[in-house]
Amino acid sequence: MDLAVEWGQVHALLGENGAGKSTLMNVVYGLVRPDSGEIAFDGQPVQIRGPLDAIRLGIGMVHQHFMLIPPLTVAENIVLGNEIANRGVVDLDEASRKVDELSGRFGLEVNPRERIADLSVGLQQRVEILKALYRGARLLILDEPTAVLTPQEIRGLFDVVRALIAEGKAVIFITHKLAEVMEIADAITVMRRGQVVATTSPKEATPSDLARMMVGRPVLLRVDKKPAKPGKGVLSIQDLVVMDDRHHVAVDNVSLEVRAGEIVGVAGVEGNGQNELMEALMGLRPIRNGTVKVEGTDISRTTTHERLRSGLGLIPPDRHRMGVVLELSVADNLVLDDHDHPPYARWFIRQFDAIRSYAQRLIKTFDIRVQNPDQLVSSLSGGNQQKLVVARELGTLPKLLIAGQPTRGVDVGSIEFIHRQLLSERDNGLAVLLVSSELDEVLSLSDRVAVIYRGKLVAVLDASDADRERVGLLMAGAA
């Protein structure tokens, strides 16, 4: 594949998860060695054997998952590996001064003496960018930089990117979000399955063109949905208080109702108590105060197993940590919740015929792409793993589905599929609590939108009143 990036330009690298964007950038940053081909920098062919080579050339990278040390301060993190030392003693004043100078120049305000642990995700990202600039980056690679930001923070990031470009630096912007590409990019390279399928620009291509190139077929960018016909209340949360692992209040007096046949979306920047809320609803985390009722029955004291049996389903927000057991087969994972109940087990003996035929049915209904049900889940793509989780949770015909980040790290085809499934189950009378940090997902699927900020529900809006701008402000706590 070929890719040419010019100085003074934002070059967007667009593609689905698994298209090879990050792998390509890891080659540029020296984390992965290429098998063949060459890289030229400033017109000169170069060998990049490791990140040190890349840094020396002036290449900086901001990873999707930040590489920061939380207990250290901003300045300490920025100079780490490149400390200004005075006879072996790190000169933090000098470091802070340099950091201040850099942040002033590019509009990246951040207090150099603050600890990383105390910063918001948006500010942590600034620190990552400053770190790269401090090391003399002229080409900055941003890997999915907007995934963790509010719409307002995204705008701030774009201002920074424009300031960098104005100084003649180059930025490679990796993303799968079309709107962002259209707004910020000068040139666009679209990748699919490890290959460049097109090089274009926002002037030449429309968002639907880009989506088609990315996926390889026409894509519906909007979710079609009928108006909801909500029935009786299914989930009723009253004054719920839940603690996080550090015993701080994570869910703060939340009350919420979800009725049969409606999708209630919870919008919020990640880490505002959404995970603790879902875990408390599923019995995975103790409830400090308040009640959770399902169809009028208090379930706050029941075990996860009992809740699953009584008609709750959970698509956990972290697929690998909570959703699937990678080392077990597809069939085993599909009966993970119900493995010890008939017909999947009689006495203590597992009934493989029943497990297999059930698995085959779900594989077909939910379009999970596998060769056979005995295949290990680790060999499945992210999209298929997620469809497996969705299949497992919907396969038991629950009354209430808690869907946490249901399409995270999933290809466009699977996203469409999962969204369609959620909507059709809603139309069949399922109550859905959708928790997602993808604002577009919440806005396009939900019948009502609840906004969570620092553990509080700051607003519950009807879908018709929930526009991007308003919800974005609420998510940032500005209301």
Partner 1 sequence: MSRRALRWAFSAVLLPLVSVLSGFLVGALAILAAGADPIQAYLALFQGAFTNHNAFAETLVSTTPYVLLGLSVALGFRAGLFNIGAEGQFYVGSLTGVFVAYSIHGLPAVIEIPLGLLGGMAGGALWASIAGALKARFGAHEVITTIMLNYVSFLVASYLVDTPGLMLAPNVSTPRTPDIDPGAVLPIILSGSRLHLGFILALLMVPVVWFLIERTTIGFRLRAVGFNQGAARTAGISVGWTIVLTMALAGGLAGLAGIVQVLGVNFHMTDTVAAGYGFDAIAVALLARSNPWGVLPAAFLFGALHNGASFMQLETQVSADLISIVQAFVIIFVAAPSIVAFLLRLRRAPAETVAITQREVDTPVS
Binding-site ranges for partner 1 (CB under 8 A): 16-20, 23, 33, 35, 193-194, 215-217, 282, 284, 303-309, 314, 316, 318, 321-328, 332, 336-337, 339-340, 345, 348-350, 369, 381-384, 411-414
- To partner 1, the closest distance from the beta carbon of 74 in angstroms equals 32
- To partner 1, the closest distance from the beta carbon of 63 in angstroms equals 18
> CA nearest 20: which of 214, 177, 147, 191?
191
Element at 352 (helix H, strand E): helix 352-365
Residue 231 CB neighbour total at 10 angstroms: 12
- Measured CA to CA, the distance from residue 457 to residue 177 in angstroms comes to 27
- To partner 1, the closest distance from the beta carbon of 406 in angstroms equals 14
How far CA 142 is from CA of 27, 53, 54, 65, 351, in Å, comes to 14, 18, 15, 11, 49
| DSSP secondary structure code for residue 454 in this structure | T
> Helices in 282-348 by DSSP H: which ranges?
304-309, 330-334
C-beta closer to partner 1: residue 296 or 348: 348
> CA nearest 400: which of 312, 305, 298, 301?
312
C-beta closer to partner 1: residue 268 or 283: 283
| DSSP secondary structure code for residue 165 in this structure | H
C-beta closer to partner 1: residue 217 or 248: 217
* No. of helices (H) and no. of strands (E), the chain: 16, 22
- To partner 1, the closest distance from the beta carbon of 386 in angstroms equals 11
C-beta closer to partner 1: residue 62 or 308: 308
- To partner 1, the closest distance from the beta carbon of 356 in angstroms equals 14
C-beta closer to partner 1: residue 128 or 411: 411
Residues comprising the chain, all counted: 479
- To partner 1, the closest distance from the beta carbon of 347 in angstroms equals 9
- To partner 1, the closest distance from the beta carbon of 5 in angstroms equals 22
C-beta closer to partner 1: residue 132 or 196: 196
C-beta closer to partner 1: residue 340 or 462: 340
- Measured CA to CA, the distance from residue 155 to residue 124 in angstroms comes to 16
> CA nearest 281: which of 266, 267, 270?
266
Burial class (CB in 10 A: 0-12, 13-18, 19+), 12: buried
- To partner 1, the closest distance from the beta carbon of 3 in angstroms equals 17
C-beta closer to partner 1: residue 303 or 424: 303
